Structure 1
Amino acid sequence: MADIDPSLSAAPLDAASLGSRDTLQRRGLMFILSSPSGAGKTTIARMLLDAEPELGLSVSATTRSIRPGEVDGRDYHFVPQTEFDRMVEDGEFYEWARVFGNSYGTPKGQIRAGLKSGRDFLFDIDWQGTQQLHQKAQADVVRVFILPPSLEELHRRLVGRGTDSVEVIAARMARAQAEISHWDGYDYVVINDDVETCFAKVRQILHAERMRRTRQTGLIDFVRVLTSK
């Protein structure tokens, strides 16, 4: 049974008092955005974080060195490899992987506490991390995959960045097609033809998922009051 908000417990419970807030108590969710490089995932993620105060970016643990301008605990939890290995052994990660010689993982503790208090977390991870996360926290996970409108447009966007060589772009394009093949492992698929339209659709998904009956833990007490007379 869900806990009753302490602010409501001082007076007799009735439907009016339980429903006096805009939203009832709810459990948070783990909102995953995945896409091939250049499809707009990072842009959509930043727009969501700016627009949704109850949504926070999941902070991963990593063994790589801290870079100029980064802050421990904000950008990453920077830990030595020995500590990371211990966390793996103790089952403290939802998902983890080795990438270019460094380890990255999603710690469970802070996220579990946040979900219980109604906090939502945004995850910017690939399809492999998504699979691991879904296997361990299925009921809390919402998976969204962002597609480019075409491979030609994806190539144009990658070239337009002006940051990669021809060889790197070719490698990104090859990897993009491999990543796109995993689209059916997601709950929602959105085509990013226009960034504002794509953002609006992704935000609608977030709002709808927040309203799922299974996440509205405050409904238990609200409905009990409605049916007690």
Structure 2
Amino acid sequence: MRSVLHNFYLKEIFTEELIRNQINHTRPVIIFGPFNEIINDRLMRDKPDKFVNCVVHTTRPRRDNEISGRDYYFVPSREQMEEDIQNHLFIEAGEYKGNLYGTSMQAVKEVSESGKHCVLDVSGHAIKRLTVAGLYPIAIFVKPPDVKWIYDNAGTDANEESAQKLYEKTVKTEQMFLDLFT
């Protein structure tokens, strides 16, 4: 009797209902790995009809040549953007030189609804936030085979120590978010 009950409880714990979601928009793309910026740039350069960045929000003052909605979305006050961050309107946000910058859910949705893939350079934590928002990102992890490969392909700025650190960071990212990669 004990094993029957034990098996019943295990079955209850490990049984999960899988639901196939109907996706009616173009999904955002997140590339992870040490050379993700190069891959992102090539996607947008080679296929601009399919891959684009979204417009980032900032509290920084607008410069003369900048247009709101094209270069940035200029948020009127730091307090407003902080409130929006607290209300989970942003996938990610951070501070640079005293100004806030962030990628909003709405900006990603606008790109997706235009029929293009929004290329994002965000942390692995953003995958869950995008999924909860119904945007279901395509999250791709590109892992170099070894430290030597990073060293050989990183250009003139690389040394063995920096290549090793980058490889270790890559392995850590893989371990933390492996279950979320597409």
Q: TM-score range by the shorter chain?
A: 0.5 to 0.7
Work out the CA distance in 1 between the residues paired with 2:178 and 2:105: 26
- Shift in Å at residue 87 of structure 1? 1.5
- Output one character per residue of 1:4-57: Cα deviation in whole Å (capped at 9) or x when no partner: xxxxxxxxxxxxxxxxxxxxxx6322112121x3xx212221221123213211
Quick check: 1:154 aligned with 2:150? yes
What is residue 59 of structure 1 aligned with on the other side? Answer: 55
Identify which of 76, 82, 87 aligns with 2:84.
87
Work out the CA distance in 2 between the residues paired with 1:31 and 1:186: 11
Identify which of 39, 45, 57 aligns with 1:50.
45
Instruction: Count residues with an aligned counterpart.
Output: 154
Q: Trace 1:71-86 onto structure 2 (pairs within 5 A).
A: 73-74=69-70, 76-79=72-75, 80-86=77-83
Specify whether residues 168 and 153 from structure 1 end up closer, same or farther in structure 2 by C-alpha distance, changes over 3 A only: closer
Quick check: 1:186 aligned with 2:178? no
Q: CA RMSD of the aligned region, Å? A: 3.6
Work out the CA distance in 1 between the residues paired with 2:60 and 2:142: 28
**TM-score (norm. length: structure 1):** 0.52
- Shift in Å at residue 107 of structure 1? 1.3
Identify which of 137, 143, 149 aligns with 2:134.
137
- Shift in Å at residue 108 of structure 1? 2.4
Specify whether residues 168 and 142 from structure 1 end up closer, same or farther in structure 2 by C-alpha distance, changes over 3 A only: same
Q: Trace 1:107-126 onto structure 2 (pairs within 5 A).
A: 107-126=104-123
Identity level (%):
21
Work out the CA distance in 2 between the residues paired with 1:165 and 1:59: 35
Q: Is the 8 A contact 2:59 2:74 kept in 1?
A: yes
Identify which of 30, 34, 43 aligns with 1:32.
30
Work out the CA distance in 2 between the residues paired with 1:28 and 1:123: 13
Q: Is the 8 A contact 1:28 1:118 kept in 2?
A: yes
Work out the CA distance in 1 between the residues paired with 2:144 and 2:53: 23
Q: Aligned to 2:142, what secondary structure does the other structure show?
A: strand
Work out the CA distance in 2 between the residues paired with 1:42 and 1:154: 14
In the alignment, structure 1 segments of 5+ residues that lack a partner are 1-25, 188-229
Higher relative contact order (CA 8 A, sep 6+): 1
**TM-score (norm. length: structure 2):** 0.63
Q: Is the 8 A contact 1:27 1:116 kept in 2?
A: yes
Work out the CA distance in 2 between the residues paired with 1:98 and 1:109: 17
Q: Is the 8 A contact 2:148 2:163 kept in 1?
A: no
